[in-house]
Structure 1
Amino acid sequence: MTIYEMKTVVVLGGAYAGARTVQVLSKGLPEGWRIVLVDRNTHINHVYVFPRLAILPGHEHKGFIPFSRLLDPTRHQDLCLHASVRSVHSSYVVLDKSFPERGVPTPELRFDYLVYALGSRLPAPLDLWGSSPKSGRASHKDAVVFKPYAGTKQEGISWLKTHQEVIKSSDSILVVGGGALGIQFATDISAIYPYKTITLLHSRHRLLPRFDEKMHTEIMDALLASNIQVILGERLDMQSILFADAIKLNKQGQRVARTLQGREVTADLILLCTGQKPNTHLLSAMDARCVNAHDGLAHVLRTMQLGVILSTSPPTPSNFTSESSTPSPSWSAFTSTSSTSSLLSPEQELENALAQVALAEKNVEIEESLSGLPMSEEDDDVLDSDLDGSDVAELSTPYPNIFVAGDAADAFGAIPAGHTAYYQGEVAARNILRLIQRSEPPLKTEISQDEGVLVTEEEEERLEHYAPGLPAIKISLGLTKSAYQANGVVRTADDGVPDLNAAAIWGYFGYEVEKEEDMYA
């Protein structure tokens, strides 16, 4: 059988959800099947450590991990393509280029199954693809567009180094957003540059309101001990910093930011840590019914198959071509999750009990490296009604061969996180294997020519269902200090390391680190 005759599972996005999907598929796909992993980055972006690397010099290279060892080397038919995605359709995706020498003769890449694991776009202070490291500076000259990042490791390192210089040269910094990302930025900057004036502005009266109030207390104590000025219950007037006719500078050349309540805060640098956006525009262009218009998340069934909320209106045509490329990985709170088939064991728990989940490889080290994924302020604003984990009664799927995992998925109240993505990718992969292993096609019930097909209740019961676990979080409060909540217990620690143990995650992606130089790959 030639590579052109092989059946294909396409995985879009190679970070936490995509990587786990590939690992599970690699061990179970039968002969005649191949995996094609597509990512616009040349290296996996380990975004958990990006806030620290964007401030503390000397560790930038540790956040970019080669894709080269993620795929099973014994499966020669599998491919990893460095490309951007232009559009998604029910049986193929369109890339920005072809790879004829690798069995992809045109930009149109057909699939039998698709896993959409494109995550969400990072907040501006960490958005390598969309913002300049200097964009928050008071000087208009510094606000010019930075040289575009094209997805290479060297460009990423350069971006982080530039961000470090911007932080170093700014005497006063306003951090907007009191989610975990904003808190980490504020406390890290204070730990490295204690002489700087740092202000944290948060729209809520409580930090991390989805967690125990003791988390708020511990974090506030750490912020005040670091001489960080904290303003709670006031929201930034975005016009005061984004619109040219409203931007105001004081005599010292500092930007004057204004809250909706009228308070003015001056700063040399403003870091907007106010939320990430799900990268679901490609799904929305294929079929607008697949994406929640309110929050941008993709509807999914418990099987992680792409879903729609059925209505009387016709579906959106699927021939729209987006000019946007494959998005970067997710950035949000650490969440301990498990699928219904996952078993936990005490020996696999972190010493701090943050993640009581069983990882397949290097459990403790990976848990430690993933445990500090910050949550943005907008994540805190999710309504409690969105977190009850209930199914949507009218949700079903015309696309039983398309799965969504990670930050892009509206996964029954699961907080977007590395471990969340990990288990969603695992469920998606196992269900694909179940469908492939059947001797007959998936059971379908015809609705109409316009509405497509539905997966029957009987079919769904034969596939694995995903169920999120209780949320937990570990948040950095400086170079060594942290606070965390797991299973309703809030504790603090003072055992951190400057690079946040970045090397631990490399093994998860198949790249064992034996010495510091290995992470320059």
Structure 2
Amino acid sequence: MAGKQESGAGKRVVVIGGGVAGSLLAKSLQFISDLTLIDPKEYFEIPWADLRAMVEPSFAERSVIHHKAYLTNGNIVTSTAINVTENQVMTADGRSIPYDYLVIASGHKEPYPEARAERLKQFQSDNEKIKSSQSILIVGGGPTGVELAGEIAVDFPEKKVTLVHNGPRLLEMLGPKAAKKTLDWLTSKKVDVKFNQKVHLSHIAEGSKEYATSSGETIIADCHFLCIGKPLASEWLKETVLRDSLDESGRLMVDANLRLKGCKNIFAIGDITDLKEMKQGYLAQKHSAVVAKNIKMLMSGRNEDKMSTYVPTSKAIAIVTLGRANAVAEFPFLTLSGFFPALIKSKDLFVGKTRKLMGLH
């Protein structure tokens, strides 16, 4: 700790949430502050690698990373934040953690287990579920549902895959051209795609293989995977001093410096922010870089006017993988599909690049 005091910092920084944004920020501030990362799980997970890990469980060995592997000089509290005051964060395990600077990066609510070993077992069990099924139902036609359908169709071409989406087309956050190319590819792999239907999952009897849809159709499948959006992990903030910083969707309203509006020392990054842009991992990484600079500047006592600003990306690059050798990529003025966009992402899904960012080989 002496090094921290000599640097003139020694300030207490608390980061809530160990996803893409929070983990990277914690890593970058750990040697210049008294840093605490609060996360309900003991690991950081590269989320865009999850679907590959379901068809190839050994892939998760590199994409599910112990927080302590990259956070060698910070405090890790494996618990959930339940309250925040002007100078402290309270956790579910009864701790009160004081802060000089607070960063909320809690993202979406994920029902993941606390231990890394248990998470790896989940991928193994998903893999066994896929292998032992002849027919698989995927509910949701966003990036997650599409990518999972692609991974299964390529690795297990003998299985019947049905994808049901409650909307008129796939990938509604992308343009119609990307959606059409994706549908064509899935259809060429014999994935049966059904639109404008919901699946009544609550009505399924134990052991039944019959799934009823909102249009009265019955789909027969040995198992299903639910790939729809998860709620934001911000409900707890409604009972805290930050309740007025939430918009009607439960996102935290931030200014150009990524501080909560009206707060000098509280920031928010990642999916929980109200920034008008696509929620993507590489943008979350940009958020953490801006806030790392701003906290360093504030800790050094420099003028606030010099703080870095973040400009939301209205036209982001989006790449949706379709198995191991294909992808659809939407650039600001161009949509490509096939092998070339796959070269960018599909092979290792940026796992090597992300590990390098975290200081790991």
The aligned residue for residue 416 of structure 1 is 279
Alpha-carbon shift at residue 35 of structure 1 (Å): 1.8
Q: Is the 8 A contact 1:248 1:256 kept in 2?
A: no
Q: CA RMSD in A?
A: 2.7
Alpha-carbon shift at residue 256 of structure 1 (Å): 2.0
Does 1:111 find its partner at 2:68? no
Structure 2 Cα separation of the partners of residues 118 and 479 of structure 1: 30
Alpha-carbon shift at residue 206 of structure 1 (Å): 2.1
Cα deviations by residue, 1:184-240 (Å, 9 ceiling, x for unpaired):
1111111122122211112222222332322112101111110011112x1315xx3
Alpha-carbon shift at residue 6 of structure 1 (Å): 4.4
AA of the residue aligned to 1:410: D
Structure 2 Cα separation of the partners of residues 471 and 262 of structure 1: 38
Identical amino acids, percent of aligned pairs: 24
Structure 2 Cα separation of the partners of residues 267 and 290 of structure 1: 44
Structure 1 Cα separation of the partners of residues 91 and 116 of structure 2: 21
Does 1:40 find its partner at 2:48? no
Structure 2 Cα separation of the partners of residues 256 and 493 of structure 1: 33
> 1:165-314 to 2 correspondence within 5 Å?
165-232=128-195, 234-237=196-199, 240-242=200-202, 246-247=203-204, 253-259=208-214, 261-286=215-240, 287-293=242-248, 295-307=249-261
Structure 2 Cα separation of the partners of residues 184 and 7 of structure 1: 42
Query: TM-score when scaled to structure 2?
Result: 0.87
Runs of 4+ in 1 over 6 A off after TM superposition: 1-5
Structure 2 Cα separation of the partners of residues 267 and 227 of structure 1: 15
Q: Secondary structure at the match of 1:58?
A: helix
Alpha-carbon shift at residue 292 of structure 1 (Å): 2.2
The aligned residue for residue 503 of structure 1 is 352
Specify which structure has the bigger relative contact order, considering alpha-carbon pairs within 8 angstroms and separated by 6 or more residues: 1
Aligned with residue 120 of structure 1, among 85, 88, 108: 108
Gaps of 5+ in 2: none
Alpha-carbon shift at residue 427 of structure 1 (Å): 1.8
Gaps of 5+ in 1: 99-106, 130-148, 308-396, 441-458, 513-521
Q: Secondary structure at the match of 1:68?
A: helix
Does the C-alpha gap of structure 1 residues 438 and 58 become closer, same or farther in structure 2, counting only changes over 3 Å? Answer: closer
AA of the residue aligned to 1:255: E
Whichever of the two has the greater Rg, that structure is 1
Structure 2 Cα separation of the partners of residues 194 and 498 of structure 1: 19
Does 1:435 find its partner at 2:280? no
The aligned residue for residue 311 of structure 2 is 467
Q: Is the 8 A contact 1:14 1:39 kept in 2?
A: yes
Alpha-carbon shift at residue 12 of structure 1 (Å): 1.6
AA of the residue aligned to 2:104: Y
AA of the residue aligned to 1:88: V
Does the C-alpha gap of structure 1 residues 59 and 211 become closer, same or farther in structure 2, counting only changes over 3 Å? Answer: closer
Structure 2 Cα separation of the partners of residues 401 and 511 of structure 1: 30
Q: Is the 8 A contact 1:177 1:274 kept in 2?
A: yes
Q: Is the 8 A contact 2:23 2:44 kept in 1?
A: no
The aligned residue for residue 343 of structure 1 is none
Name whichever structure is richer in helix by fraction. 2
AA of the residue aligned to 1:235: Q
Cα deviations by residue, 1:88-110 (Å, 9 ceiling, x for unpaired):
22211113447xxxxxxxx1110
Structure 1 Cα separation of the partners of residues 280 and 238 of structure 2: 22
Q: Is the 8 A contact 1:255 1:269 kept in 2?
A: no
Structure 2 Cα separation of the partners of residues 203 and 51 of structure 1: 21
The aligned residue for residue 83 of structure 1 is 79
Q: Secondary structure at the match of 1:236?
A: coil
AA of the residue aligned to 1:400: K
Structure 2 Cα separation of the partners of residues 430 and 17 of structure 1: 14
Cα deviations by residue, 1:4-31 (Å, 9 ceiling, x for unpaired):
994301112233212332344357x4xx
The aligned residue for residue 264 of structure 2 is 400
How many pairs are equivalent?
351
Q: Secondary structure at the match of 2:50?
A: helix
Does the C-alpha gap of structure 1 residues 492 and 157 become closer, same or farther in structure 2, counting only changes over 3 Å? Answer: same
Does the C-alpha gap of structure 1 residues 197 and 69 become closer, same or farther in structure 2, counting only changes over 3 Å? Answer: closer
Cα deviations by residue, 1:445-491 (Å, 9 ceiling, x for unpaired):
xxxxxxxxxxxxxx6x5533211122221111112211111222111
Alpha-carbon shift at residue 499 of structure 1 (Å): 5.0
